[in-house]
């Protein structure tokens, strides 16, 4: 006698060989539990990644706050001569602040006070962008020190420095000509409030609370500890691979198209209003193999354009239309040169940057020379008379 609760009989043949078992009811809940467990694990990894990125951003802000306190003390002791000296001053102060935005704001304030001419203000803002990528280089160096055999993170920092210099220095000549020609004139625009990024509401209260309780050196120590904590957390969450898959499949596809990476860098920096955050986040991605380091060049180029958004608003509020025009000329010059390179000469441009980057990282002596140039160049410009 056949138990109909567990077997079915084929209508074509009632032989025992045609009897087939019915799936056990208990098998379905097991499969559902497996899928649910996979989803829970994925959500856990995403949540841990978000926490790691949040700590990472906080660490950069703490480092900039601590360094900025010492940078403000230096400003009063420095006297600016001609445009070359103001270029060196902006470059050097960006090192001290570990950020370019506050230095650009200082330049605009000095222009509003009549201390700097329009050309000096323009060159000081350019210098602030040349030095802003130092935080990316430091971040890459910290990562490389943790993982001795992996220099991809450090390579991103080197690429950020040389890409910025190769674009901004020729743009300096273009912008100086535009300012002297008066083609843009003085734009009549207005603004009523400073511009804030999407991260401000979340990051500023925490960083502000720590800043009120810790001395500058304490902020630097806390920032360094938070940076190491963020790297440890992201290392556990991010998979090690060549060519993204899963959550990073789209990033791998986008990175193969220079214009798409250019747009991505512009958008991310426009949302965060911090080129140091938007580029530094590439360090762990490159080090884990989720993003090939040779594909970050257009991203850096895009990030170096929209980083001026907050400076545009600050210039308008502090220095009026004249200051706004200076910053706009800077932005237009960099954007025009970047687009020309991307559209007509990107392949040789990228090859040249990668060869230079590889030469710098080829041995300790070359890296030391590179760091020496980064230190000596702004000092030499500052002392130019």
Domain membership of residue 164 (yes or no) is yes
25: confidence class by pLDDT, cuts 50, 70, 90: very low
Q: DSSP per residue over 69-94, as a string? A: HHHHHHHTT----SHHHHHHHHHHHH
Residue whose token pair is 């700590």: 55
Domain membership of residue 77 (yes or no) is yes
pLDDT in tens, 271-311: 777 787 888 888 888 877 778 877 899 999 999 999 888 78
Q: Interior CA angle at 314 toward 71 and 94, to 5°? A: 25
- pTM of the full structure: 0.75
Full residue range of the structural domain in which residue 198 is found: 46-382
Residue 151 CA from chain centroid, whole number: 18
For residue 277, give the nearest of 202, 367, 372 by alpha carbon. 202
Domain membership of residue 365 (yes or no) is yes
For residue 307, give the nearest of 330, 323, 291, 281 by alpha carbon. 330
Domain membership of residue 94 (yes or no) is yes
For residue 55, give the nearest of 194, 310, 195, 235 by alpha carbon. 235
In the chain, how long is the greatest CA-to-CA distance?
108
pLDDT in tens, 192-229: 555 555 566 667 787 888 888 888 878 888 888 887 78
Domain membership of residue 40 (yes or no) is no
Q: Higher-confidence residue: 60 or 110?
A: 110
141: confidence class by pLDDT, cuts 50, 70, 90: confident
Domain membership of residue 212 (yes or no) is yes
Query: Among 7-11, 41-45, 356-360, which range has the highest average pLDDT?
Result: 356-360
Whether residue 263 is predicted with pLDDT greater than 70 in this model: the reply is yes
Q: Higher-confidence residue: 191 or 342?
A: 342
Domain membership of residue 26 (yes or no) is no
pLDDT of residue 17: 43
Mean pLDDT, rounded, of the chain: 78
Domain membership of residue 3 (yes or no) is no
Domain total for the chain?
A: 1
Contact assessment for residue 90 and residue 377, using Cβ atoms and an 8 Å cutoff: no
pLDDT of residue 239: 59
Q: How far apart are CA 102 and CA 84, in angstroms?
A: 20
Residues in the chain: 385
């Amino acid at each position: 006698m056949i138990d109909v609760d567990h077997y079915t009989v084929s209508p074509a043949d009632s032989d025992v060989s045609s009897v087939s078992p019915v799936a056990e009811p208990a098998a379905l809940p097991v499969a559902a539990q497996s899928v649910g467990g996979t989803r829970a694990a994925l959500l856990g990894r995403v949540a841990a990644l978000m926490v790691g990125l949040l700590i990472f951003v906080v660490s950069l802000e703490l480092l900039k706050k601590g360094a900025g306190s010492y940078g403000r003390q230096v400003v009063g002791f420095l006297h600016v001569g001609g445009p070359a000296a103001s270029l060196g001053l902006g470059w050097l102060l960006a090192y001290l602040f570990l950020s370019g935005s506050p230095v650009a704001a200082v330049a605009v304030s000095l222009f509003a006070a009549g201390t700097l001419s329009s050309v000096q203000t323009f060159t000081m803002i350019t210098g602030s962008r040349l030095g802003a990528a130092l935080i990316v280089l430091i971040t890459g160096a910290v990562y490389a020190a943790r993982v001795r055999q992996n220099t991809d993170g450090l390579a991103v920092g080197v690429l950020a420095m040389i890409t910025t210099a190769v674009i901004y220095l020729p743009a300096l000549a273009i912008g100086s000509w535009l300012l002297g020609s008066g083609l843009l004139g003085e734009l009549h625009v207005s603004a009523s409030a400073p511009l804030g990024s999407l991260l401000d509401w979340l990051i500023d209260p925490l960083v502000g609370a720590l800043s009120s309780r810790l001395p500058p050196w304490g902020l630097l120590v806390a920032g360094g500890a938070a940076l190491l904590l963020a790297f440890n957390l992201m290392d556990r969450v991010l998979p090690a691979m060549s060519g993204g898959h899963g959550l990073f499949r789209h990033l791998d596809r986008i990175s193969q198209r220079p214009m798409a990476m250019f747009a991505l860098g512009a958008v991310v920096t426009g949302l965060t209003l911090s080129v140091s955050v938007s580029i530094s986040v590439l360090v762990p991605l490159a080090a884990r193999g989720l993003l090939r380091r040779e594909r970050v060049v257009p991203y850096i180029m895009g990030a170096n354009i929209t980083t001026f958004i907050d400076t545009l608003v600050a210039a308008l509020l502090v220095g009026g239309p004249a200051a706004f025009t200076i910053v706009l000329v800077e932005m237009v010059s960099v954007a025009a040169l970047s687009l020309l390179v991307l559209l007509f000469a990107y392949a040789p441009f990228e090859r040249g940057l990668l060869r230079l980057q590889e030469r710098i990282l080829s041995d300790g002596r070359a890296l030391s020379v590179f760091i020496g140039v980064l230190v000596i160049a702004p000092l030499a410009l500052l002392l130019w008379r």
